[in-house]
Structure 1
Amino acid sequence: MLMPHRPILVFDVNETLLDLDHLCPLFHDIFGDGSVMREWFAQLILYSQTLTISGLRSDFGALAVAVLRMTGDIRGVAISEAEGCALRHAIGSMPAHPDAAWALDHLAQQGFRLVTLTNSPPARGPSALERAGLAPYVEASFSVQPTNRFKPAPETYQQVADALAMSPRDLCLVACHAWDTIGMQAMGGLGALVTHGVNAPLVLPGVPHPDVVAPDLRTLAQAIVQRWGGR
């Protein structure tokens, strides 16, 4: 009996492997409400995609601070230079989800190749993945920056396929965001969605549904092994 084709797993980083809720205390300090972080993050993704569609360029970190200032303007809160710097630092020091290391190790032990792809630019010092202790589990880390476009632009996924000398059909995008898995699947690749209790698949005719969906990384890793086979 032939085993199913085992794809290379391309992990998103922010929120997928690293805990975005780490930023909530900063937003509580600035706005008196940590839940504003979710509003800011949704706008950050919206405007990253707006810049890509419009053919404009920006660094994801600079855009994150600009969206923080925009959120402050909307809410009548002045954002200081120090608060902008604190946001950049907090993004670069997000901890891993508690089950992230187990999931990556389990998948590697089962024979899967693991890489990452993030909207964030390459770090000048230790990367967020290194700070979180997850870098040893992946064979390569990619940033969208060389493409001058943000996910889910096709070029961002294609650069990973090119670097690995593979077709997008050989890749599975693992993310906490359906827009990210849709981006890879629209190119003929695969998608695995971890919801972390804050996201869900988009159910819409003509739009690819993730091949695997799970509430946490441990369960997702087990489902991936079951779907595509391990050692």
Structure 2
Amino acid sequence: MSISIPLSAILFDAYGTLLDLGFITERAEQAFPGHGAQLSALWRDKQLNYTWLRTIAGHYADFATVTADALDYSIERLALTASPQSRDELLAAYWSLPSFPEAAAALTHLRHKGLRLGVLSNGTPAMLEAALRSSGLDGLFDDVLSVDAAGSYKTARAAYQLGPDRLNLPLERILFVSSNGWDICGATWFGYRTFWVNRAGHPPERLGVSPNATGRSLTDLMPLFV
């Protein structure tokens, strides 16, 4: 890993990094048999697209609103019919996501190494509080930061600035961890040291920047802090 001075803190993305979005696919399949994978993929893509479009245009709406709008679009796009109950149950899944199996052990190891741990996520404060509590990870973080405070989504600089502002640390002392290649690029551009949890084995984004290190799970972070 390429760092010039020791790290003092680690900030984690939440969705897909700590919290397993495969749970959304399972719930979508229960609601719409035979369409779960297609619906969940379109929903996630549209959810992210709406965050970027709203940030570019300066029309912020919180992540709960964006998530609901993206679901409604996706259901209509796929010509599915959702009852109010099934729609509400799908949205509620974002508030009760499980963590990835290795997350608790990896975070506990990092805490024992004296690192300050935090979350920096697009989720609303209420969504993050509920999901971290449901996943059992809520007691492992010193800071939980929502982009609500910036009024802009990642990859806006204002969103990433929440980290050093809260931690009161220089950027080179903070490691940013995400499973999303676009998020890693944004954080690297901003100035964080970055670790890409490339769970899906995707190729790197062609945006002229690279993470400082890459692994396939959060477990791969642990050898960096022995």
TM over 0.5, yes or no? Answer: yes
The answer for the alignment partner of 2:216 in structure 1 is 215
Runs of 4 or more consecutive aligned structure 1 residues displaced over 6 Å after TM superposition: none
**Structure 2: how far apart are the matches of 1:80 and 1:62?**
19
Q: What runs of 5+ residues in structure 1 fail to find an aligned partner? A: none
What SS is found at the alignment partner of 2:169? coil
Which runs of structure 2 are paired with 1:83-162 in the superposition (5 Å)? 83-123=86-126, 126-162=129-165
Aligned counterpart in structure 1 of residue 37 of structure 2, from 23, 35, 38 = 35
Of the structure 1 ranges 120-129 and 4-13, higher mean CA displacement relative to structure 2 is found in: 120-129
Cα offsets for 1:65-123 (capped at 9, x unmatched): 11111111211113333233212210111111000001101111122221101111111
Query: Which residues of structure 2 form unaligned runs of 5+?
Result: none
The CA distance in 2 between the partners of 1:189 and 1:15, in whole Å, is 19
Given that 1:172 and 1:191 are in contact with CA atoms closer than 8 Å, whether structure 2 keeps it comes out as yes
Letter of the aligned partner of 2:15 in structure 1?
Answer: N
Greater shift in the superposed pair: 193-202 or 140-149: 193-202
Matched AA of 1:117: L
**Root-mean-square deviation over aligned CA pairs:** 1.9
Matched to 2:171, the amino acid is P
Q: What is the identity, as a one-letter code, of the residue corresponding to 2:32?
A: I
- The residue type equivalent to 2:138 in the other structure is A
1:35 aligned partner, one-letter code: A
TM-score (norm 1): 0.88
Task: Map residues 143-182 of structure 1 onto 2, 5 A cutoff.
Answer: 143-182=146-185
- State the 1:133 CA deviation: 1.0
Distance in 2 of aligned mates of 1:171 and 1:199 = 25
Per the normalisation by structure 2, the TM-score is: 0.90
Partner of 1:58: 61
Q: Equivalent pairs: percent with the same residue?
A: 27
In the TM superposition, residue 154 of structure 1 has moved relative to its aligned partner by 0.7
What amino acid is aligned across from residue 212 of structure 2 in structure 1? D
Corresponding position of 1:192? 195
- Equivalent residue number for residue 13 of structure 1: 14
The equivalent residue for 1:80 is 83
Structure 2 Cα separation of the partners of residues 161 and 84 of structure 1: 37
| Matched residues, number | 221
> For residues 166 and 74 of structure 2, what CA distance do their matches in structure 1 show?
37
Per-residue deviation, residues 34-92 of structure 1 (Å, max 9, x unmatched): 21212221221111111101101112112111111111121111333323321221011
The SS at the match of 1:173 is: strand
Q: Report the Cα distance in structure 2 between the residues aligned to 1:195 and 1:138, rounded to whole angstroms.
A: 22
1: CA distance, partners of 2:81 / 2:178: 33
